[in-house]
């Protein structure tokens, strides 16, 4: 990988041998391996010791989870907040495991819509809750640094499954509790909904 990065620097018109760039290939390799470490993480390994049987059927929310990911189209970062909720049927997930689950899927080459779905689908698969909701708000550097160059834009995606999709009151309670910056139109099909806006 370091050899490829040296070649890339040369193609960009730089001198890979100059002082400031001598260790850049090593640093970039280390950074990229960390930013894509989700490929090496196993969901079952992360969650298997933190699924608990409980008699609880009210909403569980973990909000304002910071996440950082790389856009698969330009390899530029997108980052923001993730809000996760579920209504247990018989099992709950240890609270610290939900941010870890977000990391597993965000530390890959991604698009925000798929990332949102993967988190929601995994929770549904692992604990079979009455409902799952995931909302992600992110700034995309591929929009602000290049392309349309809109620095104040952000994108909101949501995936509403089970009770959050079927029950408008439950859905609105969740959105109110996370105090979303912009109204998110809930999907009636269970597919992620994107609402990209400019402030």
In the set 82, 83, 112, 118, the catalytic residue is 112
57: tokens are: 């059927």
Contact 76, 94 (CB under 8 A): no
Place of tokens 């509790």: 177
Helix boundaries (H) for the chain: 2-11, 24-35, 43-47, 97-106, 112-127, 141-144, 163-166, 168-178
Continuous segment of H or E residues that includes residue 54: none
> Is 140 an active-site residue?
yes
In the set 73, 125, 151, 191, the catalytic residue is 73
In the set 83, 118, 137, 140, the catalytic residue is 140
Minimal CA–CA distance to 84: which of 155, 153, 137, 34?
A: 137
Alpha carbons within 13 angstroms on the beta-carbon side of residue 198 total 6
In the set 6, 29, 74, 196, the catalytic residue is 74
> Is 118 an active-site residue?
no
> Is 196 an active-site residue?
no
- Whole-angstrom CA distances from 169 to 90, 129, 159, 172 are 22, 17, 16, 5
> Is 71 an active-site residue?
yes
In the set 14, 142, 173, 196, the catalytic residue is 142
> Is 72 an active-site residue?
yes
Contact 84, 65 (CB under 8 A): yes
In the set 71, 82, 83, 118, the catalytic residue is 71
Catalytic residues: 71-74, 112, 140, 142
């Amino acid at each position: 990988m370091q050899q490829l990065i040296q070649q890339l620097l040369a193609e960009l018109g730089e001198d890979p041998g100059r002082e400031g760039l001598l260790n850049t290939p090593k640093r970039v390799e280390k950074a990229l391996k960390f930013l894509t470490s989700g490929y090496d993480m196993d969901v079952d390994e992360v969650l298997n010791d933190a699924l608990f049987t409980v008699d609880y059927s009210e909403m569980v929310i973990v909000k304002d989870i910071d996440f950082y990911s790389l856009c698969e189209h330009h390899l530029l970062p997108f980052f923001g907040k993730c809000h996760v909720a579920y209504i247990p049927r018989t099992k709950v997930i240890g609270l610290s495991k939900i941010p870890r689950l977000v990391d597993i899927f965000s530390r890959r080459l991604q698009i925000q819509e798929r990332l949102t779905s993967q988190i929601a689908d995994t929770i549904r698969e692992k604990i079979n809750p009455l409902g799952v909701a995931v909302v992600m708000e992110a700034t995309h550097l591929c929009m602000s640094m290049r392309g349309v160059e809109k620095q104040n834009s952000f994108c909101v995606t949501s995936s509403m499954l089970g009770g959050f999709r079927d029950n408008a009151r439950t859905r609105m309670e969740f959105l109110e509790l996370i105090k979303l910056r912009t109204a998110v139109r809930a999907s009636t099909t269970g597919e992620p909904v994107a609402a990209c806006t400019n402030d």
